[in-house]
Amino acid sequence: MKGRVYLVGAGPGDPELLTLKALRVLGVADVVLHDDLVSSEILALVPATACVHNVGKRCGLKMVSQQEINELMVGYAWAGYTVARLKGGDPLIFGRAGDEIAALLAANISFEIVPGVTAALGAAAAAQIALTRRHVAPALALVTCGRAAGEPPTKWRGLIESGATLALYMPGDDYEKLSRELSEAGLNKDTPCVLVSLATTPAEQIRTTTLERLGKIPPLPSPTMIVIGAASHLAGEGATLPAKEATSLPARMSC
């Protein structure tokens, strides 16, 4: 009897951000194939009886090719095992899930996708910034700055003209180049930028700046997210009620 594969989102790092379903799947997995960015705290939740493989990459250095990952998933499932393919963030966002889904379908392997908290949401929550805001940022664009050889450059102008908040994955270390490209595409130099390194982990770092000064920020440890847009500048506003509304509230409120 063939086994089953679960493409599981591990979230941005904090083990408490795992979904209950992800935790349940890890608890019954016979085999776990995990990305390099999955934290040791999350891997500690995997049963000692499971076979655990690190199949991830760091800084573009692949330890296992995508073809090999596909073969491991299919091979273990054909052998009757329950396989958890554990990915950082959400498996469907910049996680090569499309390749893995295609391989599982081609091999006629039963599979299920377990969503996770993607890095943009973890970073925004950590920095306490908004990603959308009525009348200011009507959309959110998730953009990877890591481009493979031969891929066309990002069409920044269209994204900027949409008014979307830009959540940049894998921005690299050359913040000055990124700032220049966005400026040349028409983004205002005063646009707020928030950098979040190792979001939701104990090593988390947060920097706030503007597009004009982005290039002066020293590179932060990977993985880093950069959130760019007017909505982040307005985050936190409205937390205090206007005086008229505040004084109209009853002195004592009961549930």
Q: Name which of 28, 70, 67 is nearest 50 in CA terms.
A: 28
Tokens representing 52 are 């655990």
Choice among 35, 73, 87, 225 that is catalytic? 35
Amino acid letter for position 170:
M
- Our answer to whether residue 170 is catalytic in this structure is yes
Q: Is residue 247 classed exposed, middle or buried when 0-12, 13-18 and 19+ CB atoms within 10 A define those classes?
A: exposed
Choice among 87, 90, 170, 225 that is catalytic? 170
CB atoms within 10 A of CB 80: 11
Query: What residues pair up with 226 in beta bridges, in sequence order?
Result: 168, 195
Contact of 100 with 24, CB cutoff 8 Å: no
- Our answer to whether residue 57 is catalytic in this structure is yes
Phi-psi bin for 8: left (phi > 0), alpha (psi -120 to 50), beta? Answer: beta
The residues annotated with a catalytic role in the active site are 35, 57, 170
